[in-house]
Structure 1
């Protein structure tokens, strides 16, 4: 690109009376002017902005200044001179600066009298800047973002100003600032403010060395802290009272959350804490309904050292509860699970030491999904006792999904409370001996079962209701077995030598997956009854040698896909010269 004169271009821009937004990009081989300092036309564009302001109307004037990564002309002083000369008109509303090479910013950027109407400022990728950043004199500033400033160590005023209690309200910094975003500032250590700030939204990410911060945020509603030092997290959160949303993520040296964080923020709706590997506990006493009933969503995840959770029985409005990958968590307060009467979603994942019982409340009428995964020591999944069996049948009429996976200490599960289920997954539960209530699931569409206890030589598929187990006699029933079921994945174990014979009644089944039946030698003839079947998968059945007869297989007129994987003996029969090739 040929050298260009900014002065000539500004002369043209000064004639554009409807100009609302100006973007200036500095690229490789681009200069401000042949002499590096011809900015006389700057006053013309300022005058034009002035005439725009006199016209009135609802508009915002925006200036964006961008230095390309390959820009190499001049030095830090030269870039500072450029930015000094680009002082905008006072009517400016939004300012964005990216890639500036100077060590500090020009004075006009922090002068409230020169930018009296500035509402929004974004500064990013100014890697050479190492001076304290303070824009507190911009009285109308509502939104400020400072990103990718790797050399900045402090922002705001001075430490002495923060400790000065005589400062008058009129001199309070950032009197209108509502949104502050700080990100990717690895050397930031100190953040000072003279008085209480009125932020409503605060986001701090990738500032691991931040230690000193303001303590008072009386209007703060939304707070996001990600990859921030534990001292900084505690400093910011200790005195909060007005939060509606709180997210704490990847704060690797955070050990405790301050006392009263939940109790004091009685308007908190969303609370998320995850990937804090040293977090041991919440310093929180039992919560009362009167001051904690607003919380709707609570997520605690990947906190490997967390050993306890506070008594949260006051969270009567909680709709979503998720506890994930907390490997040291062992005990939950008694009555914890059954207190959430508004609960819609429950997810407990990867809490390998968690013991006791997950006991749901019959009052949780809005429960939609329950997932309990990789909780090897959890002993029971149950429902608080109700006055009659008939009441139990309609307890969770909104619950569509239930998953219990790899929970080896659970010995029995009663499904009669989940009559509206559409998806059910109970797999890899090696201690399970009894599965009750499956015939009641008339809306069930997808089902995954097994393997269960190796002590069993039958599949505990239909214990309870109108059906017996595979060793007993089937009792007549007026209701078809699982009439809505479309997909079934059945996983076996070595003691099983046959498929559950009840499967032959699933006449609406479209997809059947048979997996890990290592002792199974042949598929039963009754499989020809599955006349709606479109897909049949047979996986890891090493001793299986025979499909059903050709006559029965030909009854499966809708079958589109037959997939056999790691069944060596059966695959040998289905080869080009095998006896089952033409089935």
Structure 2
């Protein structure tokens, strides 16, 4: 109660204005009055803040120190009154000096942007330290960390797969602790779950690792998670199967003992080895749920009645063969299920075969606010119920079959459709003629695609087609087009009708070398052109001068390309600002990586080589 009163008082006296919070209630943005800002700057610059190497002032007066690449071990002990120590982009820093223990006034240490893997034992002498932020390379914490009785925030990010093995003993003595990013369960006294029980002020995010070391439900309950009303994000992770002994697991009992407070907003469960996920663990205020690698779980938990659930991700539950009534919840009491779910993602469910509808009643609504549905690597799934996608705006299927997709007759709100990695895809139920609302389409391995009625398309990406889709010439609103495949087999005639096309990506993957299609010269509205793997092109044609609106030209892996168009053609490219070349070893642009080419609009700087991954991005004209 006292802490709440103090917090409220500090809020009323705050120098910040217009606080913006995220959906979990965390402040993400503030405003500060100009006058207050000037006062703060004046105070902070009063000889009490510096960057190491930045001045020769008396170090004993400094209260705050930030440093970059170097730490002077012999000097740091001189900062007698130092209160704040921060590393800034300091991955060259490998250790802190043992003399840091003499800085008794230190309140705040942030070495998260460093490569420090181990802290000196003298850190345990900093009895006034309140905040300790560590980087991802940390492997060990001082054994006497429990002496930091004023510590409120301990942040470090790890998991059992790296070299960090266990927490400091008796962490529960840090009763002022409010932030603890993770806790790795140990086997011996002082390392078990009861250490969390005394940390009554914990809030924010907490990840629990190595839960296979918890013996029973009683031991799990000792963490008293149900009493920690300010923890909003919990992660429960057990060890991988090959790391565990025997087959007699107690994961269900342990999970029941980890019952969270009803205020919990996000829950992530990984490597749970029980056959059933208890529905009680999924409290009513949950906004996000992630279920990963629960290999023995045979059914999905009852989630349909969670009124605030917005994000649901299910990955690698190989024992689940069907989605049935148990998933939806008590539909006799609630007529609208998954009321606020916006994103639903199902990944790597290799044995999932059937997705059932509610069979007992007809007067119900499902997924009324669903925006995005992804079905990835679910090769046995035979169906997606129509009610799931009737409100959906974005649908993605990857490594599934044509039988998976629903009838598109009732998909009037669908705006984005991805069908990738389906090599046996020959046709879709009802085709795509009912998808007149779709604006963005990514599709591969489709033998006979008809786009005649998809007049709203503005972005189209196709891969490994045997021919251009029927009706592509009627897409008068198409702005982005990406084509990947054997480009020698296409009839390019329909492209001349695409008068609104602004961005074009062509990636040739056929066995025979390819030339640029002559029909491209009519696409005078192009602003961006990417061509890749055209090995039969030795010089860019003169009709490139028709691209008077072109701003970006990318040439990738055209191994025999030697010349750009003539200076006369280049002079017509009055808007061209960037040329990016990668893997075109014979193309000479001059000495070095840059060359100035004169146009009527002045000079353009051409970038000859960009060493960045680009291959998959070429499939997505929006991303590029």
Which TM-score band applies after superposition, normalised by the shorter structure? 0.5 to 0.7
1:280 — aligned with what? 273
Q: Separation in 2 of the partners of 1:522 and 1:287? A: 57
- What is the distance in 2 between the residues matched to 1:70 and 1:501? 66
Aligned: 1:155 with 2:155? no
Task: Tell me the equivalent position of 2:310.
Answer: 319
Distance change in 2, residues 1:225/1:282 (3 Å): farther
Counterparts of 2:258 and 2:368, CA distance in 1: 25
Sort the Cα spacing of 1:68 and 1:503 in 2 relative to 1 into closer, same or farther, 3 A. closer
Q: From the CA coordinates, give the structure whose radius of gyration is larger.
A: 1
2:443 is aligned, of 428, 444, 449, to: 449
Q: Is the 8 A contact 1:343 1:364 kept in 2?
A: yes
Q: Provide the rounded CA distance (Å) in 2 between the counterparts of 1:530 and 1:24.
A: 59
SS at match of 2:385: strand
Match of 2:370 among 347, 367, 371: 367
Q: C-alpha root-mean-square deviation of aligned residues, in Å?
A: 5.6
> Structure 1 178/73 Cα, relative in aligned 2: closer, same or farther at 3 Å?
closer
In the alignment, structure 1 residue 343 sits paired with structure 2 residue 341: yes
| Partner SS state of residue 471, structure 2 | helix
Cα deviation for residue 378 of structure 1 reads 2.3
| 8 A Cα contact 1:211 1:231, kept in partner | no
- 1:522–1:546: 8 Å Cα contact kept in structure 2? no
CA distance in 2, matches of 1:554, 1:20: 65
Which structure 1 segments of 5+ residues have no match? 1-15, 34-41, 46-60, 110-114, 159-172, 386-391, 453-457, 463-479
373 and 133 in structure 1: CA distance in 2 versus 1, 3 angstrom threshold: same
Output one character per residue of 1:256-279: Cα deviation in whole Å (capped at 9) or x when no partner: 483236753211112235xx6x54
Contact 1:178 1:200 in 2 (8 A): yes
Aligned to 2:224: 239
Give the TM-score taking structure 1 as reference length: 0.58
Q: Which runs of 5+ in 2 are unaligned?
A: 1-41, 88-94, 245-250, 329-336, 359-363, 543-564, 566-624
- State the aligned residue count: 449
Distance 2:52 2:505 in 1: 63
Indicate whether 1:424 and 2:404 are aligned.
Answer: no
Distance change >3 Å, CA 461–CA 323, structure 1 → 2: farther
Q: Distance in 2 between matches of 1:525 and 1:406?
A: 32
1:507 to 455, 476, 484: 476
Question: Is this contact kept in 1: 2:505–2:529, CA < 8 A?
Answer: yes
Residue 181 (str. 1) matches residue 155 (str. 2): yes
Aligned pair in 2 of structure 1 residues 412, 187: CA closer, same or farther (>3 Å)?
A: closer
What do residues 535-558 of structure 1 show as CA deviations (whole Å, max 9, x unaligned)?
47373466899999x8x8776664
Residue 196 of structure 2: which of 182, 203, 215 is its match?
A: 215
What is the CA-CA distance between 1:282 and the residue it aligns to? 8.4
Q: CA deviation at 1:515?
A: 4.2
Deviations 1:402-430 (A, max 9, x none): 21111137354322333233321112224
Q: Is the 8 A contact 1:96 1:123 kept in 2?
A: yes
- The one-character-per-residue Cα deviations of 1:473-521 (angstroms, maximum 9, x if unpaired) are xxxxxxx82222123233456xx5x544333332333444444469x85
Question: Deviation digits for residues 172-226 of structure 1, max 9, x if unmatched?
Answer: x66xx65343578947544326779364432238999993451314443323338
| 2:468–2:490 contact (8 Å) kept in structure 1 | no
Do the aligned residues in 2 keep the contact of 1:528 with 1:553 (CA within 8 Å)? Answer: yes
Structure 1, residues 304-344: CA drift from partner, whole Å, max 9, x if none? 856456513243321011234x2745446524665422111
Distance 2:235 2:313 in 1: 15
Deviations 1:54-99 (A, max 9, x none): xxxxxxx94659899664659xxx96xx79xx4x6xxx9x555997
